Amino acid sequence: MPPVYHGARVPDPCRRPLSQPLSVVPVGAGAAFGLPDQAQSSYLVRAGGSAVCLDMGSGTLNRLAAILPPESLDLVVISHLHPDHLSDLLALRVYMAHGPGLGHDLDIIGPPDLRCRLDVLSAGESWGGVRFHDLPAGGGERIVGDLLIRHTEVPHLPPTHAIRVEHDGKAITYGADCAANDALPALADGSDVLLLECTFGTGAIPDGVPHLNARAAGDMASRAGAGRLILVHGYPGIDIGGSVSEAANAFGGPVEWACEGRLVVA
């Protein structure tokens, strides 16, 4: 039987306050491979007394635990089944079954095959209090604590869901990975903060590859009427400054490159 981990909990000052405005922290914003100091995709969204984590790629569980105890999350949402968006769920399994999460419940919602694929890699071992749920095909919405979560399918690895989180008249939308499409601007309509991938930076998008570059991301933000665009998920070596400039030209609004660990208030 694996040992129970008795490591220190995150200190009280790092726990989420009882009430706060809608915000997002890019816990990790790297692509499928990244720089030595980058983590893969994960975005912590909080408001009121609620917190949800959108994706949990490699290197993000430890970073998340420096902000709040992972077992205190209201929900983890996995956008799609590529490893750079879910691989730290395997670390979360051990955390919840044998570590500080032992005795706590945690809901994870994602594509229908998520639990099955993870069980292959974890040899079917216990997930503790983790409960898996399927994202409805096409899209939908649910209330999670103080948050309203909406989602819709976008073109990438089927199924991939873009996710919108709302609270008190504010909205943050995460585009996951996707090609240019009509569904995402509709979901993100009027969002205060829009997180969009910029895999190819200022470069061209190869034919048939379901990702965005800076110009495409800026165009999507413009179509959504977003208040602010944050670029994420770029391959190492792309021109960050050029990407921000090119996206801003297409968007016509404020653009920045994601800074991992920095709080962004909607």
Residue 119's contacts (CB-CB under 8 Å, 6 or more residues apart) are: none
Instruction: Check pLDDT > 50 for residue 8.
Output: no
The SS3 call for residue 174 is strand
Instruction: Check pLDDT > 80 for residue 51.
Output: yes
pLDDT at residue 32, as a whole number: 95
Residue 189 and residue 201 in contact, taking contact as beta carbons nearer than 8 Å: no
Is the backbone peptide bond immediately before 111 cis, with ω within 30 degrees of 0? Answer: no
d(CA 140, CA 154): 13
Which domains occur in the chain, in start order?
19-265 (3.60.15.10)
Q: What is the DSSP letter of 235?
A: P
**52 DSSP β-pair partners:** 45, 75
Q: Record the pTM.
A: 0.93
Q: How confident is the model at residue 7 (pLDDT cuts 50, 70, 90)?
A: very low
Q: What's the one-letter identity of residue 196? A: L
pLDDT at residue 19, as a whole number: 76
Structure-block tokens of residue 51: 């917190």
d(CA 30, CA 24): 16
Mean pLDDT (whole number) for 205-213: 98
Mean pLDDT (whole number) for 114-127: 95
pLDDT, averaged across the chain: 93
Q: What is the DSSP letter of 232?
A: E
Residue 4 CA, chain-centre distance (Å), reads 29
Return the axis-axis angle of helices 240-251 and 214-224, rounded to nearest 10°. 30
Query: Listing from the earlier edge strand, what are the strands of the sheet with 193-197?
Result: 139-144, 147-154, 160-167, 170-174, 193-197, 229-232, 255-257
d(CA 118, CA 221): 34
Least reliable range by pLDDT among 1-15, 162-176, 231-245: 1-15
pLDDT tens, residue by residue, 239-251: 999 999 999 999 9
Instruction: Check pLDDT > 80 for residue 135.
Output: yes
What are the start-end ranges of the H helices in the chain? Answer: 60-65, 89-98, 114-121, 183-187, 214-224, 240-251
pLDDT at residue 11, as a whole number: 35
Q: How confident is the model at residue 18 (pLDDT cuts 50, 70, 90)?
A: low
Instruction: Give one word for 134, left, alpha or beta, with left for phi > 0 and alpha for psi -120 to 50.
Output: beta
Instruction: Check pLDDT > 80 for residue 263.
Output: yes
Mean pLDDT (whole number) for 47-58: 98
Exposure string over 190-229, b if 16+ CB within 10 A, otherwise e:
ebbbbbbbbbbbbeebeeeebbbbbbbbbbbbbbbebbbb
pLDDT tens, residue by residue, 54-68: 999 999 999 999 999
pLDDT tens, residue by residue, 108-120: 999 999 999 999 9
pLDDT at residue 125, as a whole number: 95
